[in-house]
Amino acid sequence: MSGRGVFFDEDDARAVVAALAAQGFGAHLERDRLAGEDDDEDHPWAVTTDAPDVVLELLVDEHDGWFDADEPGPALPPLVLPMQPKRIKRPDGG
């Protein structure tokens, strides 16, 4: 399973699971325990699925949740920064 959709409303989470199942994707619903939360009723609902991320993202937008990618984005190459300040004036003093 790749991405996760997180919802504070159980009905929204169940609707997303049903929509994914209707499209032929596997989906699993569970409570997502937040650090420091003592009240079990305040924990959000997490939907994990094997659907492409774009499919889940559209459903998350439709049902007021948020998309949580399991994998970090691609690593970017390091920035090449100048070693000296950039000169604004021309070398001939003009």
Q: For residue 68, what pLDDT is reported?
A: 83
pTM, two decimals, is 0.66
Q: For residue 10, what pLDDT is reported?
A: 92
Q: Give residue-wise pLDDT tens across range 8-53.
A: 899 999 999 999 999 999 999 998 776 555 555 668 999 999 999 9
In the numeric block, the tokens 């190459």 are attached to: 77
Radius of gyration of the chain (CA): 22
Name the CA dihedral angle for 9, 34, 68, 48, rounded to a multiple of 10 degrees.
Answer: -70
